[in-house]
Amino acid sequence: MEITKLDLPKCKVGEGPVWDVAEQALYYIDIVERAVFRWDPDNADHKRWSVPDIIGSMALREGGGAIVALGTGVHSLDFATGEVASMAVVNPDPEVQLADGKVDRAGRFVFGTSDRKMAAPKGGLYSLDHGRLTQLDGDIHLGNGPCWSPDSRTFYHADSLRHLIYAYDYDLETGRVADRRPFFDSSRWGPIPDGATVDADGNLWTAICEGGVVLCLSPAGEVLREIAFPTRIPASVMFFGPELDRLFVPTIDPSFIPGREAAPDDGCSFVIDGLGVQGLPEPRYAG
């Protein structure tokens, strides 16, 4: 196994990576800088789009372009023009913002919301299906790391401030969740279970922000691997590459937070090679 720092611009809050199998390109965001990036590992081409509000996550659309979770609503992003247009207003409460999200295998965009002050469980879990918005859950402080088991029957989603990753029963036909239960408590490794993904064997990989580790968890919630990281604040994980066997890990530069200083590698993006596992293709939003 080898961890390599990538020659990519530093982020303030690097998050939300999505590897697109069709394009063989990796998309990711900088939450604070309000930016979406596209990186082609083959030719090192790197593009940037600016969005008008804080961005919690993004996903590609089957018809082209992307959807982006901005502030209080989901918007479309036209890659050709950079135009951003509203698709669904989620929560007009200025103290709640949209957070991490991914697309399920039926083409729905499933995402969390968070309390901006990280003080109360004002957030929830939502699904956008062809423009139809449905609330799936509530009582969440800081939503992170949505992902599914290979058979789509189990959905994972963290409340980072509770140090918990939850598992839910998931109905792919209806998009409904049931039986929320604790899956993994990250407290021993670090306070913030952040972005996550599931590999082809059904194991969950998660970045433990402020803990300086990437963990691999079994479907039973057991720690199978613990990978010490060059920075204490890895923010997410995504398998990428032609064989889906490389793990992309963006990080956070905390210097924008009063009283915090950045270590040299904070805000950089990394790749972990030689893990001996493969990820799963990410679907596109069908709406």
Active site residues: 194
The owner of tokens 């839910």 is: 168
Distance CA 251, CA 53 (A): 20
Distances (CA, A) of 282 to 9, 19, 40, 178: 24, 7, 16, 23
- What 168-176 contacts at long range (C-beta under 8 Å, 24+ apart), as own/partner pairs, is 168/137, 170/104, 172/104, 172/105, 172/106, 173/106, 175/104, 175/106, 175/108, 175/110, 175/127, 175/129, 175/134, 175/136, 176/136
Q: Are strands 269-273 and 154-159 parallel, antiparallel or unpaired?
A: unpaired
CB 260 within 8 A of CB 34: no
Measured between alpha carbons, how far is 243 from 252 in angstroms, rounded to an integer? 27
SS3 (DSSP) at 193: strand
Exposed (0-12), middle (13-18) or buried (19+): which is 1, by Cβ within 10 Å? exposed
DSSP code at position 199? B
If phi > 0 it is left, if psi is from -120 to 50 it is alpha, else beta; for residue 24 that is left
CA angle 226, 278, 213 (to 5 degrees): 20
Instruction: Return the H-helix or E-strand segment holding 111.
Output: strand 109-115
Helix (H, G, I), strand (E, B) or coil at 261: coil
